[in-house]
A and B are shown apart, each in its own frame.
Chain A
Amino acid sequence: MPVITYLEAIRQALFDEMAADERVFVMGEDVGAYGGAFKVTDGLLDKFGEKRVIDTPISEAAIVGSAIGASYMGMRPVCEIQFIDFIACAFDMLTNFAATSRYRNGAGAPIVVRGPSGGGVGGGPFHSLNPESFFLNTPGLRMVEPATAYDAKGLLKAAIRNDDPVLYFEHKFLYRRIKDEVPDEDYIVPIGKAAVKREGSDLTIITFGAMVYTALDAATRLEADGVHAEVLDLRSLAPLDREAILQSVSKTNRALLLYEARRTGGIGGELAAIIAEEAFEYLDAPIMRIASQDAPVPYAPPLEAAFLPSVEKVIAGAKKLVEY
């Protein structure tokens, strides 16, 4: 099976879906001739032409708004937000228009809004965001974030074929660092299904995106100390795979919630509530959150390192839970 990068997997999904379905098109800033800020859409213009690969003005509300309109006419737009931080400029269109459309009038808005998220690359306050919690409280949207090349391709295909608006967060730290086996043939990774990345019996680290690798590194080192950590990659953030979460926690009896967004009001709070409400009697230790500091994302490498969760912080947290 071919081994390709996370970024290439995203590009393959776009190529495949556009080739298979004439309704699929991409739009965004610099996605055409330039091939996108990270070259995710490189080659699409040559293959599909400017009617299906649309370079837009710097207008996130118009990108998402016109995508909603085009989807009403039967199209399947895939919008690129050049850095996911700028999704804030389309917040109204997503939360008020797209997310409510089906509920209000039965008018589904099958759009995909994708873009590079996450930190660890010196991007500073406006090129490093993890925005999932902004949208977690908005029913009507689906949200995914892959950690592997395989999932990146399969989830994007699933997102494009989904009849709801899907936010697809791709972690920019993983673009060229992560490579794995990805089939050429068609497949999807279903939205709403988590994946156990490592089995363990002492605690579950529930995470997603680039933090999956932080969790796996920590789990490897914990093993040396006799601590067997399970790592659950959520993959979908809306809807959450409650069954997988509860199944794992009821097995390991301890939950460490690891996410790269800021701690307060983050997805960890929702995960903790689900576990506390539905698996309380299984818990042998308090639920723990490890996340970024409650601050804007800083620029200087020593500041960003202190800001982000780290393998060391996860190891320390896991030991505390096991020793509780």
Chain B
Amino acid sequence: MYYFARLARDVEERLVILFRQSKVIGGLYRSLGQEGESVATAYALERRDAVLPLIRNMGALMTVGVRPLEIFRQYMAKGTSNSRGRDLNIHIVHLPDEDANEPVIVGPISMLGDSIPVAAGIAMGARMRGKPRVAMAWIGDGATSTGAFHEGMNFAAVQRIPLVVVAEDNKFAYSTPISKQMAITRIDERAASYGIPHELVDGNDMLAVYDVAKKMVDRARDGAGAQLIGVDTMRMQGHAQHDDARYVPKAQIDEWSRKDPLTRFRSALVERQAGSEKDLDDIDRMTREYAAKEADLAVGEPMPDPETVSRGVYAGDDFAVPRVELVRSPFHQLARP
């Protein structure tokens, strides 16, 4: 988990550099401060489960094995990217053969609440095919206010669909604070009216997040229907790089800075003698170098051919869509907890 969380942060650090060099097209959305919960929730899944991440779930994408190169290609709108420059940031889709031991990955569209009904349909469809998968969908506090979220949650509850929703209270939806988003203080209580089991967890404590996520994923897989994990965390930067987040009180940032999930997880690992400072330093170096190398590879790749602009709108006019390349971490043979 530490490797994936570090990798997510380092990939984003490289993206910041590319953004400043004007190599990233459009906006860059950081998940700084949220890498931990993103990794720890995805880590509770089995390999062939489905994930529907948001823009701030770089951690989940790294955990299910998306090669960082894919992310750099996407953010730079390269012709080699999964969307071939048609769509931005982490909007990638991977639909493996139904018997393949690979994750289903369906990136969001910008109407983020839409991921919930689609996730419900993925888990329902896989169940109908007799090839069940748990679907995990992440959703921010802002998108829990949408109608699509409500409809999808309710439908998943009624149909007892194996869907695990990770509702991230990261304190702001763009500039709107949680108090103007909902009149409840615990985001997980969104689930109550659907009859969906829910828990709130300290999102910056990766071990606590993992424990709750594992329990929920196991329950969903065992037929207990949809589950919701409320995650208490903080978006440590603006909505995107252009946003200086002046609406966030400094005290709030200071408070959450002391709760950085990676720092905390690192201390916990050392404390429990699960790894030495040197081991963890080695991982830091490994992820930093890996991210840099992947970014360099992507920079040199070509932009899409303008001639292809209207290709592939309809079936029958398909042209090659690069598959999302999946990789295993150097530690994948270690037993999971």
| Chain A contacts to B: CB under 8 angstroms | 23, 25, 51-52, 54, 56-57, 59-75, 77, 92-93, 96-97, 100-108, 110, 139-140, 142, 162-164
Contacts and interface: CB of A to CB of B under 8 A. Distances in A.
Contacts of A101: 93
A78 to B, nearest CB: 13
Contacts of A92: 111, 114, 148
Nearest to B318: A106
Contacts of B124: 66, 69-70
A137 B83 CA distance: 22
Contact of A75 (B107, B111, B125, B321): B125
B13 interface: no
B122 A105 contact: no
A71 B118 CA distance: 10
A106 B93 contact: yes
A106 B312 contact: yes
11 contacts: A25-B128, A57-B151, A57-B154, A60-B151, A61-B151, A65-B120, A74-B125, A75-B128, A96-B111, A104-B91, A140-B313
Given A65-B148, A70-B125, A102-B314, A57 B321 contact: no
A65 B118 contact: yes
A101 B135 CA distance: 19
B117 interface: yes
B121 A68 contact: yes
Interface in B108-127: 109-111, 114, 116-126
Interface string B72-101: 000000000011001100011101001000
A61 B117 contact: yes
A29 to B, nearest CB: 12
A166 to B, nearest CB: 11
A69 B98 contact: no
B250 interface: no
A62 B151 contact: yes
Contact of B114 (A51, A77, A93): A93
B158 interface: yes
A65 B109 CA distance: 12
Given A59-B154, A66-B121, A139-B313, A96 B104 contact: no
A94 B164 CA distance: 24
A62 B117 contact: yes
B147 interface: yes
Given A104-B93, A139-B313, A96 B122 contact: no
B323 to A, nearest CB: 9
A51 B159 CA distance: 10
Nearest to B114: A97
B155 A59 contact: yes
B104 to A, nearest CB: 7
By CB atoms of chain B within 10 A, which of A66, A68, A93, A104 has the most? A66
B104 A72 contact: yes
B315 interface: yes
Interface string B144-161: 000110011011001100
10 cross-chain pairs, A with B, having the tightest CB-CB distances, nearest first: A69-B121, A65-B117, A106-B321, A70-B125, A73-B125, A66-B121, A163-B315, A105-B93, A62-B151, A59-B151
B147 A164 contact: no
Contacts of A63: 155
Contact of A62 (B93, B154, B312, B318): B154
Given A61-B151, A164-B314, A69 B86 contact: no
A71 B121 CA distance: 8
Contacts of B1: none
A23 B129 CA distance: 8
B228 to A, nearest CB: 16
B147 A61 contact: yes
A62 B109 contact: no
Contacts of A108: 315
A104 B118 contact: no
A74 B118 CA distance: 14
By CB atoms of chain A within 10 A, which of B121, B122, B124 has the most? B121
Contact of A107 (B93, B128, B131, B135): B93
Contacts of A72: 95, 104, 106, 118, 121-122, 125
A70 to B, nearest CB: 3
Given A62-B152, A100-B109, A103-B313, 7 more contacts: A57-B154, A65-B114, A68-B117, A68-B118, A69-B122, A100-B87, A105-B82
Nearest to B108: A97
Interface string B292-304: 0000000000000
Contacts of B111: 92, 96-97
Contacts of B122: 69-70, 72-73
Contacts of B109: 96-97, 100
Interface string B128-146: 1101000100000000000
A6 B108 CA distance: 39
Contacts of A107: 93, 95, 106
Contact of A57 (B82, B147, B158): B158
Given A65-B152, A70-B124, A104-B87, A96 B114 contact: yes
Contacts of B154: 57, 59, 62
Contacts of A105: 82-83, 87, 91-93, 107, 321
A208 B30 CA distance: 50
B315 A164 contact: yes
A65 B121 contact: yes
Given A92-B148, A103-B313, A164-B314, A69 B120 contact: yes
By CB atoms of chain A within 10 A, which of B98, B128, B129 has the most? B128
B83 A74 contact: no
B23 to A, nearest CB: 21
Given A104-B86, A106-B321, A71 B315 contact: no
A52 B125 CA distance: 11
